[in-house]
Structure 1
């Protein structure tokens, strides 16, 4: 397991680069909260669908301008080794091919939450096409929050082209859910409950974009 190696100085300068980088490549990045959603204080676990290379950079920008919490993100070991600078902004690795490494990564994630930090997780594990259903959640979020009062906050990312050369991304943060609110008796059943909830929310964002009912989204660029 490769731990994070956070640097506040690097964090600041990377944010200056990243927001310009995103402006260059995207027509817009837009954000909204669910009708009753509120951003919980740390510690919290944010879960995000994973469909593009851009996801980590979009999440970093969202945390810098909206959630503004000291955050950590679990990434596949291959990604950390290819882009080691992610460690400086809070990324740590997991190697799903090594059961012992998975345990170490889960424990590292739990320790960050116990320290009062915020954790971001891509429960699909690998990139999957935005329209693939089922989403295929791995059980990490359920294991990390099992028998705790840590809120699980769904963050839905939806990428689209709307007649312009550059794409747009719509982000919606929905109401937190807690381990105790997930239906089922086993971790497998609760993980399925979480995936089902998230799928409904992501499809709602998709319909917002298709039906062009996006006036409640605000620009983040």
Structure 2
């Protein structure tokens, strides 16, 4: 019964928020402030899911713009990871997001960047636009570098796009680690426990993107395991 109520209410929330943010976007299209407002709204849903979200490592946030890379457990990350989104940040997501009813349109209108991974030339063009925006608009970008959901099983290898951008623009990579929650989530349970989200120290990419991706991957893997121990 609790699960059904949550599903229905979350569906209503997504419909309502998509309409509100989409209307806001018509007034100021592709403005990153729209993304920040959406993130504030979606982040509150974590508590409705029965999670208590705790942020750590705020001292590691750079004073300049950055490229954030985060582990990706499930679609519920849209309610979890959004608790860490700072102002003037947009995310980079798969083109398929556009086809999610209501949410996809809002996501695109908010100024987030869609990448068509099935077409290499289009993907490169999208990243080129992102690189231009980092420099000209002082934007921060948010990536799930695994490229797919891992369902709290293991941290998949990282794609190198975010690290190429960091190298080309000189802005730091800020790793964001979310403690494992997907294997503990029950929509029928009122209290689903604590989630710890930690910003790691910024990393400046001054070597090959693939090598940097591997180093950040290892650091995040170790920190996620450490968060798991603190969580239990």
Is 1:86 the counterpart of 2:107 in the alignment?
A: yes
Name which structure has the greater RCO, CA cutoff 8 Å, separation 6+: 1
Is 1:171 the counterpart of 2:197 in the alignment?
A: yes
Equivalent residue number for residue 166 of structure 2: 145
Q: Which runs of 5+ in 2 are unaligned?
A: 1-28
Equivalent residue number for residue 219 of structure 1: none
2:180 and 2:108 map into 1 onto residues whose CA distance is 26
Q: TM-score, normalised by structure 2?
A: 0.73
Equivalent residue number for residue 21 of structure 1: 45
Q: Would you say the 8 A contact 1:7–1:88 is kept in 2? A: no
Spell out, residue by residue over 1:29-56, the C-alpha distance to the aligned partner (whole angstroms, 9 max, x if none): 111117xx42112321111111111223
Alignment length, in residue pairs? 195
Q: CA deviation at 1:159?
A: 3.7
Match of residue 124, structure 1, among 131, 137, 146: 146
Calculate the aligned-residue CA RMSD, in Å: 2.6
1:120 and 1:10 map into 2 onto residues whose CA distance is 11
- Deviating runs (4+, > 6 A) in structure 1? none
2:123 and 2:149 map into 1 onto residues whose CA distance is 19
2:220 and 2:40 map into 1 onto residues whose CA distance is 31
Label 1:124 to 1:16 Cα distance change in 2 as closer, same or farther (>3 A): closer
Q: Would you say the 8 A contact 1:106–1:140 is kept in 2? A: yes
Is 1:71 the counterpart of 2:97 in the alignment?
A: no
Label 1:188 to 1:157 Cα distance change in 2 as closer, same or farther (>3 A): same
1:8 and 1:190 map into 2 onto residues whose CA distance is 30
Q: Would you say the 8 A contact 1:143–1:187 is kept in 2? A: yes
Q: Would you say the 8 A contact 1:45–1:118 is kept in 2? A: yes
Whichever structure has more helix as a proportion of its residues is 2
Q: TM-score, normalised by structure 1?
A: 0.76
Is 1:209 the counterpart of 2:227 in the alignment?
A: no
1:137 and 1:209 map into 2 onto residues whose CA distance is 25
SS in 1 for 2:60: coil
Q: CA deviation at 1:8?
A: 4.3
Label 1:32 to 1:9 Cα distance change in 2 as closer, same or farther (>3 A): closer
Label 1:16 to 1:44 Cα distance change in 2 as closer, same or farther (>3 A): closer
